[in-house]
Amino acid sequence: MVDQRFYSKKPYLTIVDICRLLNTSVPAGCPSLKRIENVAPIDKASNSDITFFHNPKYADVLAATKAGACLISREHAHLVPLRSVITIIVDDPHLAYVTILNQFYTVRDSERKGYISKKASIAKSAAIEDGCYISDFVVISDDAIIKSGTFIGENTVIMRGVEIGENSYICSNVTIGFATIGRDAHIKAGARIGQPGFGFHIGKAGPTDIRHIGTVIIGDNVMIGANCTIDRGSLSDTVIGSNTRIDNLVHIAHNVTVGSYCVIAAQTGIAGSTKLGNACVLGGQVGIAGHLTIGDNVTVAAQSGVMRNVQSGSKIAGTPSTSIMSWHRQTIALQRLATPRLA
C-alpha cells in the first residue's frame, strides 16, 4: 500500500476519465462510469484497480488477474481474460500506466503553495512570484528570481542573481549559484549547481586557479538527482538541455553541454568541455574524458570509459570504449584465455 503520509491520492477515476486522459476510445459495451480507485501490478490488482501489460512473459499472470481494467496494446489484447477485466487499448501500455499513476498520486510537499516561512532569509531585492512555497531556513540572495508555483525545501541556498522557472521543485539542502533554470525543474536533495570548475594553469610555481566566469543554463523539465554536482563554465556556459534526466551522484564539469532528452545514470562523470548530443543514454559509472564530441542517440554501457569522439547512433562499451559488438568479442576472447585447459 502507498503510505498516504507522504502522498495525496485521488479517490477514483472513471473509465471515461481514464480514456479521455489517454486519448483513446472507451471500450464498447463496458460500464463507462465504473470507478477505478487505484493502480496495481497485474498479480495484486483487485476489481477496483487498473493494471497494465506489455511483456508476453507474464501472459499466465494476466490470465489470472482480478483487475478491473487493463492497459494493453492491440497485439496483446487477446490475452486479457474474458471475465470482468475492461480492456483499454493504447499504443504504449507502460506510458499509459505512468500517466494514470501520476493522476492518482502527488507528493504532499509539492501541493504546498503560497507560503514563505518567517525563518527564511530573503534579500529585499529578490523577486518571488505568487504561489511559491519557501520553507524554513531557506536563503535567497540579492536579485534572485523565483517564478510562480515553485517549491523550495529547507536549508536550500539560492545565490545572487539566480533565476528559477515556474513550477519547479527544489528539495532541501540544495545550493544553486550562477545559474538560470527553466520551468518544471526537479532538483533533488543535496545537489550543488554552479560551483567553480576544476580548472587551473600548471606552471613552474605550481597550479594557478582560473576564475570561472561562466554560468549554468538548465532547460525546461529537467530532473537532477540527489548530490549531483554541475559546475559553471569557465569562459562559456555549462548547458543541460530540456527534458533530460540525471540520476544521483553525477558530476558534470565546467563548459560541458548535455543535449535534450538525455538519460544519465548514477555515478557518471563528464569531464570539462565535452559536448553530449540529444537523446543519449549513459549507464551507471560511465566516465567521459574532456573536450570530446558525443553525437545524438548514443548509448554507453555501464562502467565504460569514453576517450574518443563518438558518432551519432553508436552503441559503445568497455574501457577504452569500443562498439558494443567488439566489446562482447573482447570479453569472450578474455574468458577463453583465462579458462584453464586440461592436459
Question: Are the C-beta atoms of 247 and 225 separated by less than 8 Å?
Answer: yes
Cα distance between residue 291 and residue 326, in whole Å: 24
C-alpha cell at 32: 463507462
Q: What CA–CA distance (Å, rounded) separates 206 from 53?
A: 61
Half-sphere exposure of 201 (CA within 13 A, CB side): 8
Contact criterion met (CB below 8 Å) for 305 and 320: yes
Alpha-carbon distance 147 to 138, whole Å? 16
How many Å from the N-terminal Cα to the C-terminal Cα in the chain?
Answer: 60
- Residue 94 annotated in active site: no
Cα separation of 102 and 76, whole Å? 24
Long-range CB contact pairs, 211-216, < 8 A, 24+: 212/254, 214/178, 214/238, 214/254, 214/255, 215/178, 215/179, 215/180, 216/178, 216/179, 216/180, 216/240
- Specify whether the backbone of 22 is left (phi greater than 0), alpha (psi in -120 to 50) or beta: alpha
The catalytically annotated residue of 76, 212, 251, 254 is: 254
Instruction: Give the separation between CA 123 and CA 67, rounded to whole angstroms.
Output: 54
126: which DSSP letter?
-
Residue among 147, 139, 145, 148 nearest 161 (CA): 145
78's grid cell = 487477446
Strand 133-134 and strand 151-152: the pairing is parallel
Just list the catalytic residues: 254
